[in-house]
Structure 1
Amino acid sequence: MDRFTVTYRIVAEDDADAMARAEAIALEDTVEIPRDVVPTGYVEDTVLGRVEAVTACGNGVWVGRIGYHMDAVGRELPQLLNVILGNASILRGVKAIDLKANGALAERFPGARFGATGLRELTGRKSGGYVCPVIKPQGSSSETLARLCYLTAVAGADIVKEDHGLSNQDAAPFKERVKACAAAVQQANRERADQGDTSRALYFASIGGHGDQVRDLAYYAKDAGATGILLIPGLFGFDAMNRLAQDADFGLPIMAHPSHLGPYVLSPDHGYSHGMLFGQLMRMAGADISVFPNYGGRFGFSKDECSSIVDACRAENGAGPAILPSPGGGMSLDRLGDMMSHYGEDCVYLLGGSLLRYGDDIGDAIREMRTALSAT
């Protein structure tokens, strides 16, 4: 099958209008010229998007399914995104809600390097949910942040994640901070091993800087001892993440943060569905872990929206290996039991600001997290 399929939610006046809008999407996202001047032969038969079905859903909404040939994409992720929702993103009442890959798409964009299975091996955590404290806040010194890394890692955290707001500020410059935090987690892992613990904490450094520095900073973090990175594709681009994921010499897991991506999902009529953006596209672009706001938190995602993200992260027919969903955003220890019941074991559970209430006893909070996740 030469074509992959994108499904769109289309707001229209009637069946004819819905079909016309679907045809406009197929045209705009590929050849972008008037339909009557599309060259016959290869361009019309292959490159032009093909409307496969338009189905009424009621209340002024239709679902359109459009097939795109791989020749319109080539082999670069930015052009794939351009085909999926390029000019169509500027059309009113068009929202991309699902992606069905074909073999060629999966081959050219293989997704995460590690995925859910690889993270089990890297952490040595054979079962159970992952405990992931968020190291913050910005404005703290490198020494303060490194101490938080040590206290959480030595207490049994699986992933010690820097907050996405830690970039290259004067209070904790990137290179100084990463070196100190990596050393702190390494020390904690040595102490855990001495106690017979067969699992280990991974330290995910937050990559900031300028767009042309992402690769160099990621490699610096690796050389300094980081065992994963946090990247914000909404700021640096999905392709920056994809390039690192496909770089065999880099070879570290990547956690994707949703900052700056809210406008892509919050409108019912525009952008992407939650599952497509935070599940399918994150997975295809190479994220091993996809962070998103949990239901009941301060960002207002619904339970169904969160479930759609998780389903897309884990779907057997998704691009590349299944990846780990990571709900967070204003969560506290007393929510973990409910979250575990909903999300299950293959999930990275984020807690950030609420852990800071424990002060130097933050290790107790990590142990309470483990107990809460194990009790369900």
Structure 2
Amino acid sequence: MAQDTRFRVRYRLLADDARDAEQRAKGIALEQTVEIPGDIVPAGYIAEEILGQVEEITAVGGKAYEVVVSYSPDSAGSEVIQLINVIFGNSSIQQNIRVIGFDPGPVIRERFAGARFGIAGLRARTGRTRGGLISPVIKPQGSTVKQLADIARRCALGGADIVKDDHGLANQAFAPFEERVRAVSDAVGEANAQTGGSSLYFVNVTGYSGSPVEEAFRAKEAGAGGVLLMPGLMGFGVVQALARDPAFDLPIMTHPSFTGAFVLTPETGLSHALMYGVLQRLAGSDISVFPNVGGRFGFSAEECRSIAEACRADDGIGRAMMPSPGGGMSVERAGDMVAMYGEDVVFLLGGSLLRAGDAMADAVRAMRDAVDSAGDTAGG
């Protein structure tokens, strides 16, 4: 396979000096592919094609170096799990290595279609041709099915584009999966019939039955308009399986639960853009949820912008997807959030919405008006 078909990963690592950096880079190339000592790598195809190739080593200050290693698409196949395994499998267990860039190359770009819907498809499904999408979260955990369905109904009556399960709603006794999905789907459907709207209910699928793919299909049969998945807990392969299946044909939202350890330490893990932008697009997510700046999780404005850019980059895998910042969204902050993220974004509404109580529908309308007004101002 010609060299220009390879995909490339940029790592930042710490090393004592240039020679140590070179040895560490060669170690990554071996670890991520053949996983044997360099002196016993078989000659021919394995050594020339499968073995990772160190292409760049650049000192970036102090003991930090950036290295680029290229890999053969043959080593990844067409499975997102194996592709991520090559990008950062065993090396993720080593200290002071962080993935900061990924160039898929032509073959990987062809093999991985990415999102089935993307931004344009989500707008078509929701009927929202312009402006940010509004997505209230039904919660809290411990609520009954009736209470959750009532919250969802009020949100849909208020014009929510997406009404999503909280990621803490699984198959607990207080709101079992099958019962909750039917009741909330019916509530959102009745509200849509009353308003003429197109609110979509996204069901949290956890795989409690042993088959998250089958659960997602059962949610679809019960009337769901999309699913929420947690790839940090269940794996990116589930996202890919549903995104690739034409019979499923529902948009997918991915949640960041259990992924914080990958991004929070600057010397290890992956960059925020890689985790919440690039990998989600690779797997086939249509909407990537991440903690918003100013909230309780400590993501910076720069990190949040990098995620949004990776979600929507023209040169990313497949269709551009929608970033979905969660936390800290309010009518008062709408202008700042629209200025920061633009129009192609899903704004999550959680605790602030529940404070509205019986006036929840009005609160959703107020948020819609605030987002639209901020968009008009920015556009004008």
TM-score by length of 2: 0.96
Give the match for residue 240 of structure 2: 242
Give the match for residue 7 of structure 1: 10
The whole-number CA distance in structure 2 between the counterparts of 1:33 and 1:112 is 36
**Contact 1:168-1:209 at 8 Å conserved across structures:** no
2:355 partner SS: helix
Any idea what the Cα deviations from partners look like across 1:209-253, whole Å, max 9, x if unmatched? 337320111011000000100010011101111111101101100
The whole-number CA distance in structure 1 between the counterparts of 2:363 and 2:224 is 23
Give the match for residue 270 of structure 1: 268
Give the match for residue 19 of structure 2: 16
Give the match for residue 181 of structure 1: 184
1:46 partner SS: helix
The whole-number CA distance in structure 2 between the counterparts of 1:334 and 1:259 is 27
Q: CA deviation at 1:329?
A: 2.4
Q: CA deviation at 1:330?
A: 4.1
After superposition, residues 149-164 of structure 1 pair within 5 angstroms as 149-164=152-167
**Contact 2:134-2:348 at 8 Å conserved across structures:** yes
2:210 partner SS: helix
1:66 partner SS: strand
Give the match for residue 89 of structure 1: 92
Structure 2 counterpart of 1:114, from 117, 120, 143: 117
Q: Letter of the 2:70 partner, please give it.
A: G
Structure 2, unaligned runs of 5 or more:
375-380
Structure 2 counterpart of 1:202, from 196, 200, 203: 200
Q: Letter of the 1:186 partner, please give it.
A: G
Give the match for residue 342 of structure 1: 340
**Contact 1:129-1:345 at 8 Å conserved across structures:** yes
The whole-number CA distance in structure 2 between the counterparts of 1:266 and 1:211 is 32
Give the match for residue 289 of structure 1: 287
The whole-number CA distance in structure 2 between the counterparts of 1:184 and 1:99 is 43
Q: CA deviation at 1:192?
A: 1.4
**Judging changes above 3 Å, is the alpha-carbon distance between structure 1 residues 192 and 232 closer, same or farther for their aligned structure 2 residues?**
same
Stretch moving more, 74-83 or 241-250? 74-83
Q: CA deviation at 1:200?
A: 1.1
Aligned-residue sequence identity (percent) comes to 53
Any idea what the Cα deviations from partners look like across 1:119-158, whole Å, max 9, x if unmatched? 0100110100101101100100011100111100011100
The whole-number CA distance in structure 2 between the counterparts of 1:334 and 1:4 is 44
Is 1:360 the counterpart of 2:358? The answer is yes
The whole-number CA distance in structure 1 between the counterparts of 2:318 and 2:207 is 29
Give the match for residue 216 of structure 1: 214
Structure 2 counterpart of 1:126, from 126, 129, 133: 129
Q: Letter of the 1:313 partner, please give it.
A: C
Q: Letter of the 2:145 partner, please give it.
A: S
The whole-number CA distance in structure 1 between the counterparts of 2:53 and 2:247 is 39
Q: Aligned Cα RMSD in Å?
A: 1.0
2:128 partner SS: coil
Q: Letter of the 1:368 partner, please give it.
A: A
TM-score by length of 1: 0.97
Stretch moving more, 114-123 or 329-338? 329-338
Structure 1, unaligned runs of 5 or more:
194-198
The whole-number CA distance in structure 1 between the counterparts of 2:140 and 2:217 is 24
**Contact 2:80-2:282 at 8 Å conserved across structures:** no
The whole-number CA distance in structure 1 between the counterparts of 2:209 and 2:95 is 30
**Contact 2:216-2:227 at 8 Å conserved across structures:** yes
**Contact 1:211-1:236 at 8 Å conserved across structures:** no
How many residues are matched?
371
Give the match for residue 83 of structure 2: 80
Is 1:313 the counterpart of 2:316? The answer is no
**Contact 1:330-1:353 at 8 Å conserved across structures:** no
Q: Letter of the 2:343 partner, please give it.
A: E
**Contact 1:291-1:328 at 8 Å conserved across structures:** yes
**Contact 2:170-2:208 at 8 Å conserved across structures:** no
Q: CA deviation at 1:60?
A: 1.3
